[in-house]
Amino acid sequence: MSKLPMDVITDILYRLPVKALVRFKSLSKPCCSLIDHPDFIRAHLNRSIQTKSNLNIILKGLHLYSVEFDALGTTVPLEFPLSNAAAGTEAFGSCNGLLALRITEKNLVLCNPSTRQFRRLPVSEIDPPPGESCKSGYVFYGFGHDVKTNDYKVVRMAQFNKDDDEDDEGCFYDYEVKVYSLKNDCWRKITKLPRYLRFMFQFFYHLLHRRGYGVLACGVLHWVMPPRIEFGMRNWIVGFDLGTEEFVEVPLPECADRNYLLDVGVLEGCLCAICNYDQVSVDVWVMKEYGTKESWTKLLSVQKTRTINPLTFLRPLAYSKNRDNVLLEINNQKFAWYDLQKKKMRSVKIGDSPSTFGAEVYVGSLIRIEDWKKMEIEKQREQDTLRKKNRKKRDDFLSQGFKLVL
């Protein structure tokens, strides 16, 4: 190994899966230092994303399962240190190999299944509006990466109901919105909230198909505010920018029919709008340039079939490696490849999958989620040590030079 040039060793390691790299860290201190270096971690992740390697599909049922994207064979239970903590653990987001998990409302966890690292989030109580007789109701979650600050953030939006009315949907109360920062390990309350948030929650829409979990695209988390005929409100995509920590409105595509049910998804970082027409047909649109209405492009259309009837839910998950097929999740019960050229679907059989599930793509990575403040201190110490070594080399060189002159 020592006879190989370092750049060759590095290139070999870039191509290995995360679990192999974790094992190789025990080979030697130089190998461990290389694999743990932030530049290597970032480059390994970027290569995995670009080459569609180390990809997995998470199946979210009563428990969490994983299946390799390349094989789509048989599922295995998703193991992490808290995997046996409780049945019903929900994965509400995936980003750069990290999963955001909800065990209970007060027990939220960030986890890297590949390295088995995890971090419990500090508890932050949900506080009803002051002076109001109400209680917390439905809670929206989202998870993503703020590229500007290289920080991972969890967003929690809590809706409130009247104490004496179980059926009230909280139209008259502001939401409580808080953002957790992994770097700072604390929650921050967002006070500037748009009024339309009061109308966001609809019981059957958001409880079905896990629609309360934000979809991450271009550094923005997205939720759908479904139509409210009584208020003259149509489908709406609500975005939360993780960089500015502000809400944004996202333009919709020009769908063929105004009477449709809207969902959102993501394909290779691009936001998708999924328009469902009376559970008979579904159009999937892709926003090629984020925030630009004219960049919406229809990717595919699916009709109900003899085996898929009704077509209640559809979401695109990923392109195939040659980008001529798209993997679809259908009705929380099955997968299918959609051929973009032939415009046909073929079913995908995955062994040992739960009877109903939600699906999410995640990429295996070495991203660390230990105490970021401690990591910054260690990084500063390494830089100080390196500066001292360089200073000593310079002083030694200068001192040798003076001796030669004398």
More confident call, 366 vs 377: 366
Distance (Å, whole) CA 151 – CA 160 = 29
pLDDT tens-digit series, residues 164-175: 655 555 566 778
Pure H helices in 37-138 = 38-51
Per-residue pLDDT for 286 more than 60? yes
Range from 71-75, 123-127, 159-163, 303-307 carrying the lowest mean pLDDT:
159-163
Per-residue pLDDT for 213 more than 90? yes
Element (H, E) at 140: strand 134-146
pLDDT tens-digit series, residues 327-363: 999 999 999 999 999 999 999 999 999 989 999 999 9
Average pLDDT of the residues in 364-375: 75
So what's the pLDDT on residue 102? 92
Average pLDDT of the residues in 246-256: 88
Distance (Å, whole) CA 303 – CA 306 = 10
pLDDT above 90 covers a percentage of the chain that reads 61
**Cis upstream peptide for 310 (omega within 30°):** yes
Pure H helices in 176-252 = 203-207
So what's the pLDDT on residue 233? 76
| Residue 148 CB neighbour total at 10 angstroms | 10
Distance (Å, whole) CA 64 – CA 91 = 8
Share the mean pLDDT of the chain.
Answer: 87
Name the residue among 161, 163, 162 with its Cα closest to residue 138: 161
Range from 52-66, 246-260, 285-299, 331-345 carrying the lowest mean pLDDT:
246-260
So what's the pLDDT on residue 169? 58
